[in-house]
Amino acid sequence: MPDANVRRTPPCGDSCAALRRAFMETWKDPELLAEAWKMTLEVGPISGENLQAMLARIHASPPEILQKTREAIRLKR
């Protein structure tokens, strides 16, 4: 599991916000969705705001929980 240092993440400025909006708009493209369907891919984007919040929660987890998670991921490989 890569270490996410959310505390060092700079605030999302105008260009970041524009990229987030463009990414979410991409998932409204019928051609993209049709192609994903043909490839039997299940798609469901997560917004940049939600991803950033999720990483902040992960980063705030107790170190022993993070270590157990890393070990569990290693066992699956």
| Separation between Cα atoms, residue 30 and residue 25, nearest integer Å | 11
> pLDDT exceeding 70 applies to what percent of the chain?
83
Q: Is residue 3 part of a domain?
A: no
Q: Is residue 2 part of a domain?
A: no
Q: Is residue 27 part of a domain?
A: yes
Give the domain range for residue 62.
11-76
The size of the chain, in residues, is 77
User: If you ran DSSP here, which 8-state letter would residue 30 be given?
Assistant: H
| Separation between Cα atoms, residue 75 and residue 21, nearest integer Å | 37
Are the C-beta atoms of residues 25 and 33 closer than 8 Å to each other?
no
Q: Is residue 19 part of a domain?
A: yes
> pLDDT exceeding 90 applies to what percent of the chain?
35
pLDDT tens string 49-75 = 898 899 889 889 999 998 998 899 887
Q: Is residue 5 part of a domain?
A: no
In this prediction the pTM is: 0.55
Contacts of 5 (CB under 8 A, 6+ apart): 59
